[in-house]
Structure 1
């Protein structure tokens, strides 16, 4: 891995004028390297560059954009090993998962490259024709989290490019390296200023939210930060796509085959060590199969190999940062005080690194912090229920509504139950599956707007109606 990382502003590598900051490997707590610390003045320069580039890029043809994006996908593929290594070093996930993240980034880039921007014919009569077109907004500000640093950057950047916008990226200060390298790669294939990247702390994100030169912010992260962005964005009425926190509930009906579903429940609960917005985070299990399923989940958890993601055989990496590690530990300790039963895990591993083993918690219910608050880590509370309507009510009691799921052998009944869940996506016999062609977004305090598919792409556009009198 190259240890030299720079800001990219107007196609040029630039050192951070505010200095630099350390990037920590969560598996060792050692410094991976330093990242450039941008100043607000450098953010202004990046926004100015993006606005200048927009004057030309907005008029590029569909074919030009699509071809350029396929070339970017080729370049990501050519640098896949390096990008995966950076992900493991700064984010902590096992290598196989980092490789899957790079593969997903390539697939999402190609999907967006091939999307068509629709023109809707509203009326075409003898004397009048009305058409609805979609035009780019301008400069899109992308603010990304630390859990999927490459994938989420791709989710933000690619539909913006496809629709003729330009971009200024600000990755999480915990995981800035991958985005810096990604934007460097992108700039090998695009005109200067079309995609820029600045790194730093909350000051830079706050300045982006209020910046008069940015027309839209797309943000993935916590609800409190999303609320601050929404408030700051009022100055120039920025468009917003906010994918915020979730505390996804799943309802497991008594007719399931426990052996058949247990692995799927485990993997969708502990995807990326539970550090995924759409992970299954509250598991409501019918009393008839509660003991059988929790025992099976504990067996799967105990079979995981917890360790450094760079080591062969590791299946389960660390929590990404010290603050999230502390939150996970506090929630488990509180559950213990409430007389919850820890079936497996429940204690941080000794030694360096933010290692917390996959933890299954039973004898717990709503009203406990571990159930009511999003843990965003490797802990799953399992709640017993007997009445499905009660389970639905408890699932809906959260202030957030990103995803939810119902697991049952009776698909029609599962659909009826899933339709009652207050969430943006309801899965049946699955969870946490996001796809490039399926719109994804939340409700309530999980934010608004959708990503992915045609609907997600059009969030980066302004509709202009052409009213033609013949």
Structure 2
């Protein structure tokens, strides 16, 4: 594996420790020539990797999973110090990455294609073949599972990969890729470091057949335009503005627990974080009061401290977005129940915040916030909650809390999102697949259908042999 760290610096990005505000590790950005060298190495390795048997590819992925699992604590500590993810959660995230490598090694053995019912003297098959060089571009907020899932799916199906982790989590991303690459032949997995300019050079390269991207919707739109110009494929899981609906008859304590979990986990910096809350008026007072109590009980502090339950935002830029969204909502009439301000301490800390009676036409309810904020909108009934939850440019996921089966089934039918969760904000069985909608992207980003996204179909007709 080639990394940009060993090459002469062209540009560097200064990164700060989000918990202290002190200088962290700078990122050395690859230029277009360095990106091209990584793509060419992956392209040159493709023929040999494609010819490697699926069982051998799977075995090498299992070796990589073992290596990642053995270093899960180190990887977690790197993520904690780089992005402010709680240390325990960060270590668990690294272990999940190892699990995804193992999962792909098993799932990848069973998706070779299908035999068709053709003429008796002929054979017709549909083969699934690797696409070639896959660019995997991943975010900072939960980088290990995002990278491991996409990289493993690409590799097990016979593709080679060039990976660009987010510049906000570059050190953890390079370390994870290095552990995986050690188990593989040279060139099969390359990694480049850098910012948007580096990413643009990668996704625009003519030898990249597929770009698999998890990240912002703005970046996803640029990627879709770049690859569309040359007939390549884009697989996009982008931003979300996920709603949570609280129906009448739901226990307020249970509702508040689910909202708090979804809105405050990782300081709200998850793709499927709860960013909008629609509560039926009948239970709204009790839900808001209990939610505020839970927010005030959170321990905000050093992410490496086991007593901490909420860490910092990733950097000052993200802090500014959160502060602007909250202040804009308050100016428009939202009521601060608790929080609503930056904490007076070093680092990028924002108080866990609950806002009540939020108006619809503010960025806090329209744009991705990515912060520890639970904005509550009161509605008359369940149907109004669904209508307003659906009124979004995004379509990643949604959660519905209800005691009624008919309401649960109706919500699953009408909510235009990739994933509908009923009575649990997080969770789901392994092997599921979902397609985000609208600004949230398109194409299956996980599960067995992800393997199909990494391949192309070819029909073969054999006769007269």
TM-score relative to the length of structure 1: 0.95
Give the aligned CA root-mean-square deviation in angstroms: 1.7
Post-superposition shift, 1:435?
5.5
The equivalent of 1:4 in structure 2 is none
Selected match of 1:94 from 86, 89, 108: 86
- Which 4+ residue blocks in structure 1 deviate beyond 3 angstroms? 432-436
Post-superposition shift, 1:258?
2.2
The equivalent of 1:401 in structure 2 is 395
Asked whether 1:318 is paired with 2:312, we answer yes
Answer whether contact 1:249 1:282 (CA < 8 A) is retained: yes
Asked whether 1:225 is paired with 2:226, we answer no
Unpaired runs of 5+ residues, structure 2, are none
Residues 126-160 of structure 1: CA deviation (Å, up to 9, x unaligned): 23432222110000011111111222111221100
The equivalent of 2:337 in structure 1 is 343
The equivalent of 1:5 in structure 2 is none
The equivalent of 2:43 in structure 1 is 51
Post-superposition shift, 1:387?
2.7
Select between 77-86 and 26-35 the one with higher mean Cα deviation: 26-35
Selected match of 2:196 from 202, 210, 213: 202
The equivalent of 1:185 in structure 2 is 179
Asked whether 1:442 is paired with 2:436, we answer yes
SS in 1 for 2:173: helix
Selected match of 1:135 from 120, 129, 132: 129
The equivalent of 2:26 in structure 1 is 34
TM-score relative to the length of structure 2: 0.96
Q: Distance in 1 between matches of 2:123 and 2:264?
A: 53
Post-superposition shift, 1:364?
1.2
Answer whether contact 2:329 2:359 (CA < 8 A) is retained: no
Post-superposition shift, 1:125?
4.7
SS in 2 for 1:33: coil
Answer whether contact 2:332 2:359 (CA < 8 A) is retained: no
Q: Distance in 1 between matches of 2:276 and 2:301?
A: 25
The equivalent of 1:330 in structure 2 is 324
Q: Distance in 1 between matches of 2:4 and 2:420?
A: 44
Post-superposition shift, 1:463?
0.8
Selected match of 1:278 from 263, 272, 281: 272
Asked whether 1:249 is paired with 2:265, we answer no
Q: Distance in 2 between matches of 1:138 and 1:449?
A: 18
Q: Distance in 2 between matches of 1:141 and 1:176?
A: 16
Unpaired runs of 5+ residues, structure 1, are 1-7
SS in 2 for 1:271: helix
Post-superposition shift, 1:436?
4.3
Residues 351-376 of structure 1: CA deviation (Å, up to 9, x unaligned): 21000121111021311221122211
Selected match of 1:262 from 228, 233, 256: 256
The equivalent of 1:428 in structure 2 is 422
Aligned length: 462
The equivalent of 1:126 in structure 2 is 120
The equivalent of 2:100 in structure 1 is 108
The equivalent of 1:25 in structure 2 is 17
Higher helix fraction (1 or 2): 2
Q: Distance in 1 between matches of 2:361 and 2:185?
A: 54
